[in-house]
C-alpha cells in the first residue's frame, strides 16, 4: 500500500493572510515586536529619558515662560492658561518624536548596515510583516511617552475634562502616522549625515504647528500652509479633547492622520519589497 509523504502546508488564517500573497505578508508581525522588546529591555535608559522629558517641558512652561504669558484663546474661544494651551500639543509632539526616532534611526541601521531585513526576508517573514512590525514598535514607544506625559499633566492639574482621556489614543494615532511616513523616508537615506533632512522637517513642524501659538497669529496665507502640516492636525485634535470643545473639524483631522498612516505603511512595504526582493 502506497504511503503519501507529502506534507500539506498549514492553512493560512486571518483576513490579510487570505487576501495577500505569502511573499508580502505571512502574519508574523508579533515576532518583530518580540525582538524589539528583547533588544530594548537592555536599553531602559532610552525610555527613561522619554518619560522625564515631559516633566521638564511642563515644569519649564509652568514655572518659567508661563509666568510671562497669562492666558491664551483656545478651541472655541475658550480662555486657557498658557501651560494648559501648550500641554496637549507637547503630548502629541512627544509621541511624534519617540515614533520618528525608532522609525528612522533604528530602521536605517537595520536596513543599510546590519542587513537585518535581508536576513528576515530569507525566512517566511514578508515585507509587510517588517513594515507593520517596525511601525508597530515605534507606535508602542510613542504611546508609552504619551502615557507618561498624560500622567504628568494629571498630577499638575491640567486634565480638566473627561474627554481628555482620549489624548492618549490621539497621541497613538499621531505616532502611527509619523512612524509610517518616517520609515518610508528612512528607506531612501544612504548615509547617517542625511538624517539632517529628517530634523530639518521635524523642527519647523514642532515650532509652527500651533504648538505654542494659536493659528490666528499667522497671516492668512501662512494659515493655509500650517493647516497642511501633519502635526497641526494632531495638535488640534489633542487640544480639542483636552478642553472638551468638540467640533466637526475633528473628523477631518482624524481622517487626515489615518490616510497618512495608511500611505506610509503601503509605501514602506513597497520600498522594502522593491529593494530587497529584487
Helical segments of 15-70, H only? 15-19, 29-40, 44-59
**pLDDT-based confidence at residue 2 (cuts at 50, 70, 90):** very low
Q: By the 8 A CB rule, do 149 and 90 touch? A: yes
CA 27 from chain centre, in angstroms, equals 22
Query: Is the pLDDT at 5 greater than 60, yes or no?
Result: no
74-88, 92-106, 205-219, 244-258: range with highest mean pLDDT = 244-258
Rounded to whole angstroms, the Cα distance separating 229 from 220 reads 15
Burial class (CB in 10 A: 0-12, 13-18, 19+), 208: middle
Q: How many CA atoms lie within 13 A of 232 on its CB side?
A: 19
Q: By the 8 A CB rule, do 95 and 144 touch? A: no
Query: Is the pLDDT at 255 greater than 90, yes or no?
Result: yes
25 DSSP 8-state letter: -
Work out the angle at residue 89's Cα, subtended by the Cα atoms of residues 87 and 94, and round it to the nearest 5 degrees.
95
Q: What is the pLDDT of residues 183-200, one digit of tens each?
A: 888 888 888 887 888 888
Q: What is the pLDDT of residues 29-79, one digit of tens each?
A: 777 777 777 777 676 666 666 667 767 777 777 776 666 777 777 787 778
Rounded to whole angstroms, the Cα distance separating 242 from 165 reads 8
Amino acid at each position: 500500500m502506497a504511503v503519501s509523504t507529502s506534507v500539506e502546508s498549514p492553512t493560512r488564517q486571518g483576513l490579510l493572510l487570505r487576501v495577500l500573497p505569502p511573499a508580502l505578508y505571512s502574519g508574523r508581525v508579533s515576532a518583530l515586536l518580540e525582538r524589539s522588546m528583547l533588544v530594548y529591555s537592555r536599553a531602559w535608559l532610552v525610555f527613561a529619558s522619554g518619560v522625564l522629558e515631559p516633566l521638564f517641558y511642563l515644569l519649564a512652561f509652568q514655572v518659567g515662560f508661563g509666568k510671562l504669558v497669562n492666558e491664551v484663546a483656545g478651541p472655541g474661544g475658550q480662555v486657557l492658561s498658557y501651560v494648559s494651551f501648550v500641554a496637549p500639543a507637547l503630548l502629541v509632539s512627544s509621541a511624534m518624536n519617540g515614533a520618528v526616532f525608532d522609525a528612522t534611526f533604528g530602521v536605517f541601521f537595520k536596513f543599510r548596515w546590519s542587513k537585518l531585513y535581508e536576513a528576515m526576508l530569507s525566512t517566511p517573514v514578508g515585507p509587510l510583516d517588517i513594515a507593520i512590525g517596525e511601525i508597530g514598535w515605534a507606535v508602542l514607544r510613542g504611546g508609552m511617552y504619551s502615557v507618561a506625559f498624560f500622567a504628568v499633566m494629571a498630577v499638575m492639574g491640567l486634565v480638566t475634562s473627561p474627554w481628555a482621556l482620549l489624548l492618549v489614543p490621539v497621541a497613538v494615532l499621531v505616532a502611527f502616522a509619523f512612524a509610517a511616513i518616517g520609515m518610508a523616508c528612512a528607506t531612501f537615506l544612504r548615509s547617517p549625515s542625511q538624517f539632517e533632512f529628517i530634523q530639518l522637517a521635524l523642527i519647523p513642524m514642532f515650532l509652527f504647528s500651533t504648538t505654542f501659538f494659536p493659528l490666528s497669529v499667522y497671516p492668512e496665507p501662512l494659515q493655509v500652509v500650517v493647516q497642511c502640516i501633519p502635526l497641526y492636525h494632531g495638535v488640534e485634535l489633542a487640544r480639542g479633547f483636552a478642553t472638551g470643545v468638540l467640533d466637526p473639524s475633528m473628523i477631518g483631522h482624524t481622517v487626515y492622520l489615518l490616510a497618512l498612516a495608511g500611505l506610509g505603511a503601503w509605501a514602506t512595504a513597497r520600498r522594502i519589497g522593491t529593494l530587497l526582493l529584487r
